Structure 1
Amino acid sequence: MPIIAPSRRRWTIRRARALLRSRGPTSLMFRRRVAVVAGAVAIGVIAVLFAAAADTAGEWFERFSRSWCRITLVTTPLGFMALVWLTRRVAPAARGSGIPQVIAARTLPDLGVATLLTMRTAIVKVGLTLVAILTGASVGREGPTVQLAAATMALSHRWLRVPMRASVVIASGAAGVAAAFNTPLAGILFAIEELAAAYEQRVTLLVLSLIVIAGMVAQSLVGDYVYFGAIGATIPLKSAVLIAPVAGIVGGAAGGLFSRLTLAVALADHPVSRFARRRPLAFAGSCGLVVAVLGVVTGLTWGTGYTAAHAMIVGIDAPLWFGPAKFASTLATAVAGLPGGIFAPSLAVGAGVGNLLRAAFPDGPASAIVILGMVAYFAGVVRAPLTAVIILAETTGSRGLMLPMFASAFVADWASTQVCREKLYHGLSRTFAPAR
């Protein structure tokens, strides 16, 4: 048996103790990894539960609006007023989409976690978003899922006494997007284009890890699915050369207009914005009345607009006024100040834009034209063209349409900047920036 010198034995013991301190179960590195994995698993579970609850709430309102259509002229404005009052009183950081909050929290993670990404705020946001869906508001669950995902990750870090880093805020928000739509590639690109100001290599692995874990958990609960169904749309090159740029200009300009109007109410100083700040409940009630009137008159603009968008994607004719009407309904909801996202409603408005383009190009493939309109409008609103393309490719299974979609998205991004210079989510994030 070999004899170990006392000095070497002491050196080995010291090294083992040092390794245990730096990488053992009590070390910061170990606890950080556990916090990330646990948070990612929780994000996958919570995203699925939230999606199921939102779908159920949408179905309940749909049945109510069919049976008691005219009553919504009262219940929807009152619901908007109640939601804004509750949000301002209980959790002011829960208003709006949720993505601007995550962008603001990224700049100062410690302050952001303490103010914008608390579990109280996330729970209030989820509850009030579900109530907003029950009132017929033109909101989606995707933006709130991003804030909920970041708050869940912040909670796991708090429990394990690990400081929250900006890269973790980015990665958890991206995991929320991926789990909400079942679009892992879109989650990665959303982190690059929208959440991260400077994307570093070390963030890449973290984003990928969280998206893989959250996505696998979500798929294990609900199975693999395509959000709008596997459409598999294609378009001939000769048609794409003409239609894609036109879709980009029309959709991008419309998306830029939505962003400009939303930011004008939130940040500018004019009679409408002053009224919104001085009389928030009256302003919210007015917005709710606009949503209710449009919903009663059209019967199509309530909620996320998923059903109408899906019908147009598969080639079913829709009224030409759907796009402008859904645009107005979504704008009224977005500026009212209640919790809720704009991802899904924006896709529905984009389908309406594509439906208008179908009338201009009657000989083109209907599904492909509608999808190009969706890509263009969505890219115009969020100013994230790569994310727009990948989301539509993954949610419709139309990967054969990717080159025309890229053309439309990049043209739309340019067209949007001509109407609104500032990116929507980044502009709104200034209203949530933690005080230094």
Structure 2
Amino acid sequence: MGASAVALALLADSAQAAFRHLIGRWHYLPLVLTPLGLGLAAWLTRRVFPNSQGSGIPQAIAARHLTDQGARGTLVSIRIAIGKILLTLFGLLCGASIGREGPTVQVGASIMFAIGRLSPRRQAGLILAGASAGVAAAFNTPLAGIVFGIEEMSRAFEAKTSMLLIGAIIAAGLTSLALLGDYTYFGTTSVKLGLADWLAVPVCGVAGGLLGGVFSRILVEFGRGLPGATGRAIKRHPILFAAACGLGIALCGLASSDTIYGTGYAQVKPLLDKGMPLPQSFGLLKLVATALAAISGIPGGIFSPSLAVGAGIGFNLSGIFPGTPLDALVLLGMVSYFAGVVQAPITAFVIVTEMTNDHAMVVPLMAAAFIGQAASRLICKDGVYHALSRNFVAAAAPAEVRGRP
């Protein structure tokens, strides 16, 4: 799992570098490449690698809820893992606003499911361990991997699987350290909030949480299927719809000076490290581009892009709080928006803290995460991963019923 996460990370960086090289040669290439690429990726997803679409985390959650081995195998398998890796890289090569961390979760769950065929009774625990190890290895955040497994994947602490989960995370983390060395995903920050700066916490929490709720609601509604003629047209012409989403992403890219493509890591790290400014439109356009990629039906995660959207929100709010350190606002925006999307506030603040190694911001990040979750629930009642997982459970249920004696 650790090796697959590292390989996907390195290949993803290469794919994004290749895309930047291409648009450096012709600025308007995304108007052609991105629609065609997303259309082809959607076709391959549907015809060759079904159930590899989206981030992959809803599939891993759904696989844990199913009990039949055959039904689980439709959501997590080595075939799906291979397709997930190849099509995520292809999406990044075409300029899609997607991440690699969600796919790493489904890949990890698929590997552990394959191992678990030898011990069917432990499959649910093995899927949980593989998914959690995927998060830990993708970000080099072992504590966040544990919290993600408890809060998001299982939404409960299971003593019988705790040692399995921790063991898988340790193994994945050691592999990542051996191959990439010790690093923090977004570098290291050492910012602190003064007493007067605390007003930014609820403002960031509400703004990020509401926008995260809007994003989640879009994905949930499209995941269920839109009503009326629009929904029927999307269902009849999914490849054309994916191409139209690709065109929308390309237009967002042109409007943002080519900053919204890919994971968002290349934009957020310089912002945190050097205070390098982003376009004022970055946060909103990144949100739109990520939503378009997510509803298009291609494989690709929303983890890193969501953190990038949150960073853009924090950057925008720096105009309202000119005396507050910029990197503090960026971190608050990241944790608020991400908590609003997934509605897993503990995972949100732990992962942002581990990514930046800034323990002085733990309490403000905690507060912003819980405010973000509360604000998000005004718009979307459940986190996006669990809401989407129900669609996969419902679709796999007939196979599960057939598999029962």
Query: For 1:90, which of 44, 48, 54 is the aligned residue?
Result: 48
Find the aligned partners of 1:48 and 1:336 in 2 and give their Cα distance: 26
Q: Which residue identity is paired with 1:194? A: E
- Percent of paired sites with the same residue: 45
> Which secondary structure does the structure 2 equivalent of 1:351 belong to?
helix
Find the aligned partners of 1:342 and 1:246 in 2 and give their Cα distance: 23
Task: Give the match for residue 257 of structure 1.
Answer: 214
Q: Which residue identity is paired with 2:85? A: V
TM-score normalized by the length of structure 2 = 0.94
Task: Give the match for residue 36 of structure 1.
Answer: none
Kept after mapping to 2: 8 A contact 1:231/1:397? yes
Aligned pair in 2 of structure 1 residues 368, 47: CA closer, same or farther (>3 Å)?
same
Task: Give the match for residue 403 of structure 2.
Answer: none
Task: Give the match for residue 169 of structure 1.
Answer: 127
Task: Give the match for residue 302 of structure 1.
Answer: 261
Ranges in structure 1 where 5+ consecutive residues have no aligned partner: 1-42
> Which secondary structure does the structure 1 equivalent of 2:332 belong to?
helix
After superposition, residues 303-342 of structure 1 pair within 5 angstroms as 303-314=262-273, 315-342=275-302
TM-score normalized by the length of structure 1 = 0.87
Give the superposition deviation at 1:161: 5.7
- Give the greater-gyration-radius structure (CA): 1
Task: Give the match for residue 375 of structure 1.
Answer: 335
Give the superposition deviation at 1:202: 1.9
Q: Which residue identity is paired with 2:57? A: I
Q: Which residue identity is paired with 2:287? A: F
Find the aligned partners of 1:307 and 1:248 in 2 and give their Cα distance: 24
Give the superposition deviation at 1:121: 0.9
Kept after mapping to 2: 8 A contact 1:139/1:330? yes
> Which secondary structure does the structure 2 equivalent of 1:233 belong to?
coil
Kept after mapping to 1: 8 A contact 2:290/2:305? yes
Query: For 1:226, which of 181, 184, 187 is the aligned residue?
Result: 184
Q: Does 1:142 align with 2:73?
A: no
Task: Give the match for residue 356 of structure 2.
Answer: 396
Give the superposition deviation at 1:214: 1.1
Find the aligned partners of 2:119 and 2:337 in 1 and give their Cα distance: 43
Find the aligned partners of 2:312 and 2:157 in 1 and give their Cα distance: 34
Give the superposition deviation at 1:204: 1.9
After superposition, residues 36-435 of structure 1 pair within 5 angstroms as 43-109=1-67, 110-158=69-117, 160=118, 163-240=121-198, 242-270=199-227, 271-298=229-256, 299-314=258-273, 315-433=275-393, 434-435=396-397
Give the superposition deviation at 1:198: 3.0
> Which secondary structure does the structure 1 equivalent of 2:182 belong to?
coil
Task: Give the match for residue 23 of structure 1.
Answer: none
Partner deviation per Cα, 1:335-380 (whole Å, 9 max, x = no partner):
0000000001001100001011111101111100111000000100
Give the superposition deviation at 1:164: 4.2
Q: Which residue identity is paired with 1:413? A: Q
Ranges in structure 2 where 5+ consecutive residues have no aligned partner: 401-405
Find the aligned partners of 1:112 and 1:365 in 2 and give their Cα distance: 50
Give the superposition deviation at 1:163: 4.6
Kept after mapping to 2: 8 A contact 1:144/1:341? yes
Aligned pair in 2 of structure 1 residues 272, 66: CA closer, same or farther (>3 Å)?
farther
Find the aligned partners of 1:324 and 1:87 in 2 and give their Cα distance: 28
Q: Which residue identity is paired with 1:247? A: C
Kept after mapping to 2: 8 A contact 1:44/1:179? yes
Find the aligned partners of 1:339 and 1:125 in 2 and give their Cα distance: 6
More deviation, 213-222/195-204: 195-204
Find the aligned partners of 1:269 and 1:188 in 2 and give their Cα distance: 35
Kept after mapping to 2: 8 A contact 1:265/1:272? no
More deviation, 338-347/305-314: 305-314
RMSD, aligned α-carbons: 1.3
> Which secondary structure does the structure 1 equivalent of 2:392 belong to?
coil
How many correspondences in the alignment? 392
